[in-house]
Amino acid sequence: MHLRAEAILLSVRAHGEHGAVVRALTESDGLQPGYVRGGRSRALRPVLQPSNLVLGEWRARTEEQLAGLTVELIHSRAPLFGEPLPAAALQWTTALSAAVLPDAQPYPRLYSALDGVLAAIEAAPAARGWAVALVRYELLLLAELGFGLDLERCVATGRDDDLVFVSPKSGVAVSRIGAVGYERQLLRLPPFLTAGGAAEWDDIVDGLRLTGHFLERDLLIGKGAEILAARSRLVDRLMRAVA
């Protein structure tokens, strides 16, 4: 096994006294794990930062063996980890992707979308500049892994207009008329997810609540409290930023 490709670093875990196991997303070959010798060294720690773009080279004698990985930094986003809100967004987005994507399955749309979200966070550390992109990335992640929401028509009436809620059970949109009497049991569907355009803070929060419900229910079962804690930190910091 020999692979050489640009990749977005998603997670880094210490292994042994000096090494690190890295999971990185490539455009054509999906998520690729690898062992970086000396990955905990002073020289490599700034390189092995989740969200960084690297040129990776994976080598293994067999497909079943954990590949040895060498990395060359292409673009660093490490400075953003000095800012609490961008840091929380980077940590959540990369941790989520590392936790739910299967190894070696190509998801070119997800790679492109993730790269776009990370670039948006870097370009505009204020949340209004990237939060909409983050919600859309989470929706795409659900769809690509087989848990997409149906936001085209109302599950109760079949109408395709005035869609303002989503059923937390079926993941299908509900119109205002179809929701009468059940509003408190439904998740709000923010307009930017169906009509596009700008989003107010309330819409962004509702979007994160919507995607968070289905991520936790369908993709993060048994993934550990650490992943959900990363999302909680992000939402808490967003709420403080808009308060």
Judged against a pLDDT cut of 70, whether residue 31 lies above it is answered with yes
Encode pLDDT of 151-190 as tens digits. 999 999 998 999 999 999 999 999 999 999 999 999 999 9
- pLDDT for 208: 93
Alpha-carbon distance of 223 to 220, in angstroms, equals 5
User: Sign of the C-alpha dihedral, residues 22, 101, 199, 184?
Assistant: negative
Query: What is the layout of strands, in order, in the sheet containing 173-175?
Result: 173-175, 163-166, 187-188
Lowest mean pLDDT of 11-15, 122-126, 210-214, name the range. Answer: 122-126
Match 């998520």 to its residue by tokens: 31
Digit-coded pLDDT (tens) for 202-217: 899 999 999 999 999 9
Q: Which residues pair with 9 in a beta bridge?
A: 24
Q: Which of 80, 83, 12 is nearest to 50 (CA)?
A: 12
The DSSP secondary structure of 5-22, one letter per residue, reads EEEEEEEEEEETTTEEEE
Supply the pLDDT for residue 243: 63
Query: Average of pLDDT values for 95-110?
Result: 96
To the nearest 10 degrees (0 to 180), the angle between helices 84-100 and 131-144 is 10
pLDDT bracket for residue 124 (50, 70, 90) = confident
Domains of the chain: 1-76 (2.40.50.140), 81-151+189-243 (1.20.1440)
What is the pLDDT at residue 30?
Answer: 97
pTM (predicted TM-score): 0.93
